[in-house]
Structure 1
Amino acid sequence: MTSEEHSLLSAADIRKLADILDLRPTKTLGQNYVIDPNTIRRIVGAAHLDAREHVLEIGPGLGSLTLGLMDVAHTVTAIEIDPPVANRLATTVEAWRPESSHRLSVVEADALRIGRADIDAARPQAADGPPTAIVANLPYNVAVPVMLHILAELPNIQHGLVMVQQEVAERLVAGPGSKIYGVPSVKMAWYGKATSAGTVGTKVFWPAPRITSGLVHFAAEEPPETTATRQEVFEVIDTAFAQRRKTMRAALSQWAGSGVAAEEILLAAGVDPKARGEVLEIEHFVRIAEHKHHRGES
């Protein structure tokens, strides 16, 4: 089955649903709805979903992307923070895909705070297991925290496609040595490989945002083997980029206890103390955290 076999929500359909709900999209919730069916088809196609997959959708809004996902995936769990919008989604799916309503579960929740147990409890009755893919049009102001939170909560996620502000997309896929390589880039690398999947213009949204959106494809990989915890590794990343122009020795001095201690940890981890965080890969940050961890145990 392909998304071309079924009609999708048009601009007129979106505005009609908004009128029914007396909905006025807000910047606070990052509500910019895709009103172009071809863009939905493009997003769904770029996600490379398996017909047996359980997909997690964050911020389904009025259902444009939800319908497209249900045409190619086995089941969909949608997380929506706005109560009236969340309550309407199942009705929309029943009207547009009456034969598929049992394959959808809608959770009214904040994606930044939802836990694995909440998602498991809300699993669609037709789902064979937890979500293995994430596809979402993420609110610009919380895109990175939401993505990192979901990946931490759902280790079964194997791949996905997210639409975010173009600047955020560029940061997520940036590699060491790039001027925009930073905390989002390195933390995403802990979970897997993020690559660019293209851009989306402003005219396919209602209301139209002021800036272009970017599509980011994600493929999960096993985190580097280490005795340090993810929290310890992420603390090193945050500290290293808090003042990104500082050398690692200077940036980590307070974290390590002193400049001398920081230099010893860096040398033991095989990292040049004079290097800056922007040239280091995730494995470097892992080794730094690991050597601090071992130092604390000795």
Structure 2
Amino acid sequence: MSEPDTSVRGSAALLGPAEVRTLAERFGVRPTKQLGQNFVHDGNTVRRIVAAAGVGRADTVLEVGPGLGSLTLALLDVVDSVVAVEIDPVLARHLPVTVADRAPELADRLRVVEADALRVAAADLPAVPTALVANLPYNVAVPVLLHLLAELPSLMTSLVMVQAEVADRLAAEPGGRVYGVPSVKAGFFGTVRRAGAVGTQVFWPVPRVESGLVRVERYAEPPWPTDEEHRRRVFAVVDAAFAQRRKTLRAALAGWAGSAPEAERRLIAAGIAPTARGETLDTAAYVRLAAQA
């Protein structure tokens, strides 16, 4: 990731509440719960998201679910390349038009890919992204984030807006009440922390839940192998451990290991007490345990 551009360019005319509703009406867009569509209409909020992302001119930013373009316009003010992945064909078709209308001098910095972010591959993108900045669809936020982190090792930093409860889970520490599968799996790729809160009134339509910002900094030097085969082995152990959260790991991992005694043997070999529970282990412990398979 390049150094952030601290200058305020302000070339783009950002979208406000009236503009968001006008564009939606013009394009015949009705926000759907199925696609998790809640459009941000507050300029200060999108500016804050871009600032929290810490992206600079040389970054190529991947944005998922750009919608009507609120965050897109703010990003184009700061970086020289934005690749927007949008599943809705109507929104994908109109986003370049909106940018050309509101920030014509920035329009050539945007490339739109009509695709499902859960299935998009590196080969589908016209450029290699260095950062992910997105208001993720809340119904698939964690799967999308984990897929992109796995598929795009070039993403050195990610700043995503998700449901506040999900943000808490992603950034949770071992032993906490909300620590679980998302926490461990996100921690496989890098350090994860909360980066702020976002209220409901900056969206249209107004969601019923609060939102939160999560920042993931990929490990500059990964502490373990990150290839697909190794990741799958580690994630299989994580899934098994939390499938029966209230049980000890000796019991919860019996199916994964083939039997409870074999699970105990592997746990001891990895330096983990068989009586421990899944929520007490950090990502490194799961990596050690996967190595015993």
What TM bracket, shorter-length normalisation? over 0.9
Equivalent residue for 1:38? 44
AA in 2 matched with 1:224: P
Q: Which residue of 1 aligns with 2:55?
A: 49
Partner-residue secondary structure (3-state), 1:215: strand
Structure 1 letter corresponding to 2:140: V
When the two structures are aligned, how many residues end up with a matched partner? 284
Note if contact 2:12-2:77 (Cα within 8 Å) is conserved in structure 1. Answer: yes
Q: How does 1:55-134 map to 2 (within 5 A)?
A: 55-119=61-125, 122-123=126-127, 130-134=128-132
Deviation at 1:223, TM superposition (A): 3.8
Q: How far did 1:103 drift? A: 1.2
CA deviation vs aligned residue, 1:81-132 (integer Å, no higher than 9, x gap): 000000000111111121222211100000001111111xx23xxxxxx101
Shift of 1:3: 5.4
Matched residue, 2:32: 26
Could you tell me whether the CA contact under 8 Å between 1:224 and 1:286 is conserved in 2?
no
Confirm or deny that 1:14 pairs with 2:20: yes
Distance in 1, Cα, partners of 2:149 & 2:115: 17
The equivalent of 1:201 in structure 2 is 199
Amino acid at match of 2:213: L
Asked if the contact 1:55–1:131 (Cα under 8 Å) also holds between the matched residues in 2, the reply is yes
* CA deviations over 1:45-95 (Å, ceiling 9, x no partner): 111112110000000000000000011112000000000000000111111
Q: Structure 1 counterpart of 2:160, which letter?
A: V
- Could you say if the C-alpha distance between residues 3 and 64 of structure 1 is closer, same or farther in structure 2, counting changes exceeding 3 Å? farther
Which residue number in structure 2 is paired with residue 295 of structure 1?
Answer: none
Contact 2:88 2:114 in 1 (8 A): yes
Percent of aligned pairs with the same residue? 56
Offset of residue 14 of structure 1: 0.8
- What does 1:1-298 align with in structure 2 at a 5 Å threshold? 1-2=7-8, 4=10, 6-119=12-125, 122-123=126-127, 130-221=128-219, 222-226=221-225, 229-292=230-293
CA distance in structure 2 between the partners assigned to 1:113 and 1:102 by the alignment: 26
Over 3 Å counting, the alpha-carbon distance change for 1:220 and 1:201 in structure 2 is same
Q: Tell me if the contact between 1:3 and 1:68 (Cα under 8 Å) persists in the aligned partners.
A: no
Query: What is the Cα deviation at residue 224 of structure 1?
Result: 3.0
Q: Which runs of 5+ in 1 are unaligned?
A: 124-129, 293-298
Residue matched to 1:296: none
How far did 1:286 drift?
0.5
Q: Distance in 2 between matches of 1:182 and 1:72?
A: 35
How much has 1:225 moved relative to structure 2? 2.1
Instruction: Tell me the TM-score normalised to structure 1 length.
Output: 0.93
Give, as a single letter, the amino acid of the residue that structure 1 aligns with 2:174: P
Offset at 1:229?
0.7
CA distance in 2, matches of 1:147, 1:153: 10
- Cα pair 2:122 2:151 within 8 Å, conserved: yes
**Displacement over 4 Å in runs of 4+:** none
- 1:173 touches 1:185 (CA, 8 Å); kept in 2? yes
Quick one: distance in 1 between partners of 2:234 and 2:152?
19
Q: Structure 1: which amino acid aligns with 2:188?
A: W
Maintained 8 Å contact 2:11/2:103: no
Secondary structure of residue in 2 paired with 1:66: helix
* Contact map agreement 1:197 1:215 (CA 8 A) in 2: yes
Range with bigger deviation, 217-226 or 92-101:
217-226
CA distance in structure 2 between the partners assigned to 1:38 and 1:267 by the alignment: 52
What one-letter code is carried by the residue in structure 1 that aligns with 2:249? M
Question: What amino acid does structure 1 have at the position aligned with 2:240?
Answer: T
Match for 1:155: what amino acid?
Answer: P
TM-score by length of 2: 0.94
Whether contact under 8 Å (2:81, 2:110) holds in the other structure is yes
